[in-house]
Amino acid sequence: MFGKLTIDAIPWDQPIPLVAGAVVGLGLLAVLAWVVLKGHFPYLWREWITSVDHKRIGVMYLLLGLVMLLRGFIDAIMMRSQQAVAFQAPGYLPPHHYDQIFSAHGTIMIFFAAMPIIIGLMNFVVPLQLGVRDVAFPTLNSVGFWLTATGALLVNISLVVGEFAQTGWLPYPPLSELPFSPGVGVDYYIWALLISGVGTLMTGVNFVTTILKVRAPGMSYMRMSMFCWTALASNLLIVAAFPLLTATLIMLALDRYLGFHFFGNEAGGNMALFVNLIWAWGHPEVYILVLPSFGIFSEVISTFSGKPLFGYRSMVIATLGICIISFIVWLHHFFTMGAGADVNAVFGIATSVIAIVTGVKVFNWLFTMYGGRIRYDTPMLWSLGFLLTFVIGGMTGVLLAVPPADFQLHNSLFLVAHFHNTIIGGVVFAAFAGVVYWFPKAFGFRLHEGWGKAAFWCTFVGFYVTFLPLYAAGLLGMTRRLQHYEVAEWRPWVLAATVGVAISAVAMFCQIAQLVVSIRDRAALRDETGDPWDGRSLEWATASPPPVFNFAFLPDVKGEEPYWAIKQRAIETQHLAAAGEYRAIEMPKNSATGFVTALFATVTGFGLIWHIWWMVGLGLVLAYVGFVVFAWRDEDEYAIPASEVRRIDGERRRAREEWLRRRASAGEVG
């Protein structure tokens, strides 16, 4: 009746997951109860859950990603603390638990923290920067988000119902095949990622189409913001790489469920095939994350230096270069698998070539700062931290790209330090820079500067104190994923890294404090005009938060940095450009499709994991029915009358005119 699922799936005998699960479960119930009892549910349903507005979906992605970042960080605390005490001792986490934790840490951080945060920022910002009202396929956007949430939900359920994979974040066979992983852990992994992978692919299709086909009049390719270019490159990579992940996980699922022999040890299975396919996806994946991060820094550095981005054309070429080259380097993840000198050398050289195009970007950022008037608000601090940190991470990457060096450092803590160096220095720093930068646009008030700066410094210091010792440990021969270790030489470095994690935990606390204090003091931190940072791109032309339709009139773009031109003109002429004749605006209707599809996807996924076949069938049938119901609707848009548009835009215009007046009376020139 319930397949493999029994009451013993709950870890009654393991206090840590049991207590963690109970705390989280009770917390969720409490939040749900508060929402329902206070009567907030209709608001939540109408304004968020069924919303197809890219701004709302972006915020929900960010919420998901930031919460999962916290969960992944807790996994990291457990890993470091285990290694701190497990020198010639068993530690407090037995192997089967520790192995799940490091697997969950990597999986959650990549798929459910970093991806949603980056996709959330792209969702919120790209249509605004393109000067349009929404993405190409708003309902598809909602479906994509909710399917990602399904994946996150399944991974978290594995904590309390069953187990998670014990294979590492990429489940290499034969370890991930049935004989060596007979439990449901790998199945949780497979279905969570297959389902959320569909969601991510939808995002890819959506944004490629939006950036190429839905832009404001006059916005040619070379007038798009740098963030939109990097978003385009990232989404092209999603479209070209995620299907490889889908196919490979399907092959692994076929092995595990139907006795196929793609990767196992019998009947001709080939584990190296898995390694090649998964990394053919895996390498582009890290560029999916880091390219928009570069875009965020381009925006922030130019804004806070008070200068246009240096070498725009070069940056575009470099971005597309990284996009293409990222597809021809995958073998550097397994130089030690014995492919031979010629093959290793070719891939090593290709990997180094990425350093050229990335170096170009770094220099262009430096020249953007050169001759600027740099304001060190929190986003700019994160950018500076990035410039220093990412360069080191990139350097260690190029070192690892030389096969003989990799022959000694592959899978060591040196490697672990390298990829955390680039992901934290690149993606995480960008995430925080982007969140602080665009937070006022999304919510109408800025984040508290003091806590923001504290969070930056603690993260920055914490990162180095954690990972510099790990570089050293790797050079001393320490390999990764050790549940306990015997070598005395490694101990001081492992302990030092633990101190770093403690500092990073303080940083997390600062981030939470920043949010809480900002919400409490939001009146004082209000963004009156919609342009708190003296921005240069189109999103700063709107009110904070923007109305649902973004722009009353799609801007007529005449050059690069269109908003800067508009602003300078307004300052010179001391008034805003005349508003045209307001017309009614049609916007897409809300839809429950996303939520409903994800609900049935969760049901289907859970059934597949536990071999509850009737549940699988039911979930698929209901998903199809839900899809048909959606496809059957006759009205997919609603109209906002011209009077309403005029009223909303009028408020924005009044705030801007007030700003112009105050600026003039304060005697600011130019």
Residues of span 487-546 touching another protein by CB under 8 A: 487-489, 491-493
CB 66 within 8 Å of CB 115: no
Q: Which of 641, 647, 662, 664: binder of another protein (CB under 8 A)?
A: 641
Q: Which of 71, 256, 307, 441: binder of another protein (CB under 8 A)?
A: 307
Query: What are the residues whose beta carbons fall under 8 Å from the beta carbon of 484, sequence distance 6 or more?
Result: 86, 87, 88, 89, 90, 91
Distance from C-alpha of 652 to C-alpha of 511, rounded to nearest angstrom? 31
CB 347 within 8 Å of CB 331: yes
DSSP one-letter string for 436-496: HHHHHHHHSBPPPHHHHHHHHHHHHHHHHHHHHHHHHHHHTTPBSS-SSB--GGGHHHHHH
Q: By CB under 8 A, tell whether 599 contacts another protein.
A: no
Q: By CB under 8 A, tell whether 43 contacts another protein.
A: no
Q: Of 49 and 487, which has the nearer Cβ to another protein? A: 487
Angle between helices 613-631 and 593-609 (to 10 degrees): 160
Alpha-carbon separation of residue 500 from 77, 80, 235, 302, 455 (angstroms): 10, 10, 34, 32, 14
Q: Which of 201, 323, 454, 603: binder of another protein (CB under 8 A)?
A: 201
Q: Of 57 and 201, which has the nearer Cβ to another protein? A: 201
Q: Which of 1, 7, 37, 341: binder of another protein (CB under 8 A)?
A: 341
Q: Of 100 and 511, which has the nearer Cβ to another protein? A: 100
CB 104 within 8 Å of CB 75: yes
Q: Which of 334, 429, 595, 606: binder of another protein (CB under 8 A)?
A: 334
DSSP structure class, residue 225: -
Q: By CB under 8 A, tell whether 310 contacts another protein.
A: yes
Q: Of 66 and 415, which has the nearer Cβ to another protein? A: 415
Range 647-657 burial, b when 16+ CB lie within 10 A, else e:
ebbeebbebbe
Q: How many CB atoms lie within 10 A of CB 506?
A: 15
Judged by CB under 8 A, the stretch of 24-32, 37-45, 145-153, 216-224 that binds another protein is 216-224
Q: Of 574 and 643, which has the nearer Cβ to another protein? A: 643
The upper half-sphere exposure of residue 72, i.e. CA atoms within 13 Å in the direction of its Cβ, equals 22
92-131 positions binding another protein, by CB under 8 A? 95-96, 99
Q: By CB under 8 A, tell whether 607 contacts another protein.
A: no
Range 14-27 burial, b when 16+ CB lie within 10 A, else e:
beebeebbeeeeee
Q: Of 399 and 513, which has the nearer Cβ to another protein? A: 399
Query: Minimum Å distance from CB 166 to another protein?
Result: 7
Q: Of 367 and 509, which has the nearer Cβ to another protein? A: 367
150-179 positions binding another protein, by CB under 8 A? 166-168, 172-175, 179
Query: Minimum Å distance from CB 662 to another protein?
Result: 20
Type of residue numbered 365: W
Judged by CB under 8 A, the stretch of 30-38, 209-217, 445-453, 499-507 that binds another protein is 209-217
Question: Total residues contacting another protein (rule CB under 8 A)?
Answer: 168
Q: By CB under 8 A, tell whether 42 contacts another protein.
A: no
Distance from C-alpha of 112 to C-alpha of 404, rounded to nearest angstrom? 34
Q: By CB under 8 A, tell whether 659 contacts another protein.
A: no
Type of residue numbered 33: A
Contact flags string 435-474 toward another protein, x per CB under 8 A: -------------------------------------x-x
Q: By CB under 8 A, tell whether 481 contacts another protein.
A: yes
Q: Of 66 and 330, which has the nearer Cβ to another protein? A: 330
Please give the distance of CA 634 from its chain centroid, rounded to a whole number.
35
Judged by CB under 8 A, the stretch of 426-434, 459-467, 505-513, 581-589 that binds another protein is 581-589
Query: Minimum Å distance from CB 613 to another protein?
Result: 18
At 132 the three-state DSSP class reads coil
Q: By CB under 8 A, tell whether 27 contacts another protein.
A: no
Query: If residue 96 lies in a helix (H) or strand (E), which one and from where to where?
Result: helix 95-107
CB 135 within 8 Å of CB 54: yes
Cα torsion angle, 72, 75, 81, 83, sign? negative
Q: Integer distance in angstroms from the first to the last C-alpha of the chain?
A: 75
Contact flags string 348-367 toward another protein, x per CB under 8 A: xx--xx-xx--xx-xxx-xx
237-296 positions binding another protein, by CB under 8 A? 239-244, 246-248, 250-251, 254-255, 258-262, 265-273, 277, 280
CB 326 within 8 Å of CB 335: no
The upper half-sphere exposure of residue 205, i.e. CA atoms within 13 Å in the direction of its Cβ, equals 14
Q: Which of 8, 13, 581, 637: binder of another protein (CB under 8 A)?
A: 637
Query: Minimum Å distance from CB 374 to another protein?
Result: 5
Query: If residue 433 lies in a helix (H) or strand (E), which one and from where to where?
Result: helix 429-443
Report whether the peptide linkage leading into residue 545 is cis, meaning its omega lies within 30 degrees of zero. yes
386-445 positions binding another protein, by CB under 8 A? 387-388, 391-392, 395, 398-399, 401-405, 407-412
Q: Which of 5, 69, 195, 309: binder of another protein (CB under 8 A)?
A: 309
